[in-house]
């Protein structure tokens, strides 16, 4: 089994690393919260107190970090992955970052004999726990083939989308679709409630028709209970809407609904909801509809 170094044991990273341990991979992990390192150790992993200690002997290095600056801090510099990973190691970044950042990382890696893949995921915390993520990969075919057994532990839909950065471009499109869909579902919830319709019954029948979606299914209980534990934080979706609107602008693609959704996500954050799950876009619709947000 290849030896894995896993950097970033947050909402997504810790359950993903646990799934690799369950599948028999030796995993050494590093992250900023000591309690997450203890949880990795409890699952059979080896905690490391620094990036160099984590990656030095690894065949495969995986990063699952919040955003571009975190990835750059972990990848580059005297204490970074590129300085300390073995030549020939495979560096798989599963964070959601800009396609440009992934392309730069691949170029820098190549100069130092490190093979790089961008492999962002969709499916949320539940997908990470269940090992049912969608994995969108950019990079060389042979590196994708080498990483495939690991991806198959983490996800059920694993696709190489093209060259370096292509995984991130597909993930940006994913985030556009998810934000617009959550906003539409939230608007439907407030409309249904204000109309006096039984909400659980309405969501049942909507879920079985063309309006049904993974978003409606997975966020249904959050909407009904007005409970928004993260999940996927609005702060992170704000970052992702910045990625998709900038990337679309670069290629001359119009994303009017995406731009509107980006503003609504930014407004939710400005109202103090950045730490809540993105289903809390419902709170914004409640405010716009003259209601005090419940929950
Ligand atoms: P998170 O904030 O829960 O976890 C991030 C982890 O990175 C933390 O444990 C933190 O300690 C660690 N970290 C940050 N800087 C570090 C550094 N310099 N050195 C070592 N560790 C460091 O975030 P998350 O929800 O797990 O998301 C991770 C990535 O996955 C993000 O890019 C996000 O957009 C993406 N994503 C998240 C979800 C989701 O539902 N949460 C779904 C799909 C994709």
Q: At what angle do helices 234-251 and 166-194 cross, to 10 degrees?
A: 120
Whether 239 is catalytic is no
* Exposure letters 182-211 (e unless 16+ CB within 10 A, then b): bbbbbbbbbebbeeeeeeeebbeebeeeee
Q: How many residues does the chain have?
A: 295
DSSP-assigned states of every residue in 234-249? HHHHHHHHHHHHHHHH
Q: Give Cβ neighbours of residue 209 (< 8 Å, ≥ 6 apart).
A: none
Is any ligand 1 atom within 6 A of the Cβ of residue 30?
Answer: yes
Residue 181, preceding bond cis, omega within 30 degrees? Answer: no
pTM over the 0.75 mark: yes
User: From the alpha carbon of 96, which atom of ligand 1 is closest?
Assistant: 32
Q: What does the buried/exposed string (b/e) look like for 72-108 if buried means 16 or more CB atoms within 10 Å of the residue's CB?
A: bebbeeeebbbebbeeebbbbbbbbbbbebbbbbbeb
Is any ligand 1 atom within 6 A of the Cβ of residue 71?
A: no
State the DSSP H helix or E strand holding residue 88, giving kind and residue range, or none if neither: none
Cβ of 119 closer than 6 Å to ligand 1, yes or no, is: no
Q: With a 6 A CB cut-off, is 96 part of the ligand 1 pocket? A: yes
Which of 36, 171, 219, 239 is the catalytic position? 171
Q: pLDDT of 114-157, one tens digit each?
A: 999 999 999 999 999 999 999 999 999 999 999 999 999 999 99
Q: What's 113's DSSP letter?
A: T
Report d(CA 154, CA 168) in Å as an integer: 17
- Each residue's pLDDT expressed in tens, for the chain with a length of 295 residues: 999 999 999 999 999 999 999 999 999 999 999 999 999 999 999 999 999 999 999 999 999 999 999 999 999 999 999 999 999 999 999 999 999 999 999 999 999 999 999 999 999 999 999 999 999 999 999 999 999 999 999 999 999 999 999 999 999 999 999 999 999 999 999 999 999 999 999 999 999 999 999 999 999 999 999 999 998 999 999 999 999 999 999 999 999 999 999 999 999 999 999 999 999 999 999 999 999 998 7
CB 122 within 8 A of CB 96: no
Check: CB of residue 115 under 8 Å from CB of residue 90: yes
Is the CB of residue 135 below 6 angstroms from any atom belonging to ligand 1? Answer: no
Q: How far is CA 283 from the centre of its chain?
A: 22
Which of 36, 66, 76, 214 to mutate to test ligand 1, by most ligand atoms within 8 A of the CB atom? Answer: 66
Cα distances (Å, whole numbers) of residue 175 to 47, 109, 113, 116? 32, 27, 32, 23
Sign, Cα dihedral of 95, 98, 104, 110: positive
How far is 283 from 51, CA to CA, in rounded Å?
39
Question: pLDDT tens digits for 28-40?
Answer: 999 999 999 999 9
Residue 71 Cα to ligand 1 middle (Å): 10
Q: Which residues pair with 91 in a beta bridge?
A: 61, 116
- Using the mean position of ligand 1's atoms as its centre, give its distance from the Cα of residue 62 in Å: 12
């Amino acid at each position: 089994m290849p030896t894995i170094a896993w950097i970033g044991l947050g909402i997504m990273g810790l359950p993903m690393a646990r799934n690799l341990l369950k599948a028999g991979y030796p995993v050494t992990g590093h992250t900023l919260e000591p309690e997450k390192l203890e949880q990795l150790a409890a699952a059979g992993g080896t905690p490391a107190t620094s990036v160099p200690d984590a990656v030095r002997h690894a065949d495969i290095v995986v990063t699952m970090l919040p955003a571009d600056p975190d990835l750059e801090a972990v990848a580059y510099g005297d204490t970074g992955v590129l300085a300390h990973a073995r030549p020939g190691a495979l560096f798989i970044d599963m964070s959601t970052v800009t396609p440009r950042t992934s392309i730069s990382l691949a170029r820098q890696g190549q100069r130092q004999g490190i093979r790089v893949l961008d492999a962002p995921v969709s499916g949320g915390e539940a997908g990470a726990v269940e090992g049912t993520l969608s994995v969108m990969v950019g990079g060389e075919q042979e590196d994708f083939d080498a990483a495939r057994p690991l991806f198959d532990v983490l996800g059920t839909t694993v696709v190489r989308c093209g060259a370096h950065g292509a995984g991130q471009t597909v993930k940006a499109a994913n985030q556009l679709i998810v934000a617009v869909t959550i906003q539409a579902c939230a608007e439907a919830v407030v409309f249904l409630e204000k109309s006096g319709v039984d909400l659980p019954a309405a969501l049942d029948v909507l879920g079985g028709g063309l309006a049904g979606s993974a978003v409606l299914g997975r966020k249904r209980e959050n909407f009904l209970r007005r409970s928004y534990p993260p999940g996927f934080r609005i702060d992170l979706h704000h970052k992702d809407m910045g990625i998709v609107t900038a990337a679309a602008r670069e290629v001359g693609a119009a994303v009017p609904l995406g731009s509107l959704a980006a503003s609504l996500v930014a407004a939710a954050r400005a109202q103090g909801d950045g730490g809540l799950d993105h289903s809390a876009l419902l709170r914004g619709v409640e405010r716009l509809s003259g209601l005090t947000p419940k929950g």
